[in-house]
Amino acid sequence: MERYQRQSVEFSQAIGMELINDKNFKDVADRFDTSPTTVMRRFDQVSASMLRETNKLPEVIAIDEYKGDAGGEKYQTVIADPVERKPLEILKTAKKKH
């Protein structure tokens, strides 16, 4: 267990594996007897390590909005490659800057 953490590294990895296997936050939270918010934080940690610079978009992209808590915003948007099952970008806000 990492310092100041209440859940083990293995617990976080298990949640990450369930999320990769196409589960939603609530189902994973119920299975591990934890809150959906905890699962969302683990998702953010796992996906941040998978993000890399995208030079060319894939032929098909998936866009999904999920409830989170990043930078004071209520919802975040994830853009992913559904074929490779990898996130391409996580947008902290849906607001457009002019």
Task: Tell whether 44 and 81 lie within a shared domain.
Answer: no
Task: Tell whether 84 and 41 lie within a shared domain.
Answer: no
Containing structural domain, residue 21 = 1-50
Task: Tell whether 98 and 58 lie within a shared domain.
Answer: yes
- Give per-residue pLDDT as tens, 9-40: 777 778 877 776 666 888 888 888 888 888 88
For 49-68, what is the mean pLDDT?
Answer: 78
For 54-83, what is the mean pLDDT?
Answer: 80
Task: Tell whether 98 and 82 lie within a shared domain.
Answer: yes
Rg value, the chain, Cα: 14
Of 19 and 83, more confident: 83
Task: Tell whether 75 and 35 lie within a shared domain.
Answer: no
pLDDT above 80: residue 54: no
Task: Tell whether 34 and 66 lie within a shared domain.
Answer: no
Task: Tell whether 43 and 11 lie within a shared domain.
Answer: yes
